[in-house]
């Protein structure tokens, strides 16, 4: 599967909002993105303003995957990471993270640590974190973001 990896510009945001609003993408998150405190459109725009979005684009020009990188107080954080079901399992998610981390090293070189959160039981993320050199930092109950009984897990690695 041939895809290209880009850093999104403002002109890509509508397409990205469309991608994350597809039910099979939205509902793959726990909780779904559409059930979070901010709308998907606000999420896309606010993360674009605060940091950057990396996108995987397929041969037809469609978004195949995305993830955001946001500088926080002490570390940079990966957020809203997804690959469409029809593109999953071909290494696109791993390559997208590698691309994002390289870009992060250039833009945010004052930071030493990169983190990503997920939820307990997300095996694909567990595997990717292991492959890309992240280790588990902590797991905790997170009622605003997850349903009862599903813990948030946080992974970290050096940037
Ligand atoms: C996480 C996600 C982005 C990965 O995208 P992808 O393009 O399929 O990723 P890759 O093909 O690079 O790698 C996936 C790895 O996870 C493994 N994997 C996938 N599903 C798995 C499962 N249920 N159990 C164990 N491993 C699994 C694959 O085998 C592969 O590992 P391998 O290379 O050793 O075989 C994608 O699964 C996704 O969008 N999931 C839904 C949204 C989500 O969970 N986002 C993360 C929010 S924190």
Give the closest residue (by CA) to ligand 1 atom 16: 124
Residue 144 has a pLDDT of: 86
- How far is residue 134's CA from residue 8's CA, in Å, rounded to a whole number? 25
Residue 1 has a pLDDT of: 79
Residue 39 has a pLDDT of: 98
* Cα dist from 88 to 34, 76, 82, 85, 129, whole Å: 22, 25, 9, 5, 16
154 lines ligand 1 (CB under 6 A): no
Classify the C-alpha dihedral 81-51-98-1 as positive or negative: positive
Residue 32 has a pLDDT of: 96
Q: What is the mean pLDDT of each run of 10 residues along the chain (159 residues)?
A: 95 98 97 95 98 98 98 97 97 96 96 97 96 96 91 97
> For 8-129, where are the E strands, in sequence order?
52-58, 63-71, 76-83, 113-119
Task: For the chain, list the domains and their CATH numbers.
Answer: 3-158 (3.40.630.30)
Give the closest residue (by CA) to ligand 1 atom 17: 124
Question: β-strand 76-83 against 113-119: which pairing, if any?
Answer: parallel
Instruction: Give the global pTM.
Output: 0.96
Cis amide prior to 31 (ω within 30 degrees): yes
Minimum-distance ligand 1 atom for the alpha carbon of 89: 11
- How far is residue 15's CA from residue 21's CA, in Å, rounded to a whole number? 10
- What distance in angstroms lies between residue 91's CA and the mean position of ligand 1's atoms? 8
- How far is residue 119's CA from residue 129's CA, in Å, rounded to a whole number? 12
């Amino acid at each position: 599967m041939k895809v290209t990896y880009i850093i999104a510009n403002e002109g890509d945001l509508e397409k990205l909002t469309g991608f994350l609003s597809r039910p099979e993408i939205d509902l793959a998150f726990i909780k779904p993105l559409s059930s979070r405190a901010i709308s998907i459109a606000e999420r896309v725009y606010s993360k674009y303003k605060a940091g950057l979005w990396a996108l995987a684009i397929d041969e037809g020009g469609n978004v195949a995957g995305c993830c955001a990188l946001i500088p926080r107080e002490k570390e940079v954080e990966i957020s809203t990471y997804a690959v469409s079901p029809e593109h999953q399992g071909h290494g696109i998610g791993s390559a997208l993270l590698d691309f994002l981390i390289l870009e992060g090293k250039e833009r945010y070189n004052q930071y030493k640590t990169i983190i990503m959160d997920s939820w307990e039981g997300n095996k694909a993320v567990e595997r990717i974190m292991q492959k890309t050199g992240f280790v588990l930092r902590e797991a905790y109950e997170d009622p605003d973001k997850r349903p009862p009984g599903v813990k948030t897990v946080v992974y970290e690695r050096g940037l």
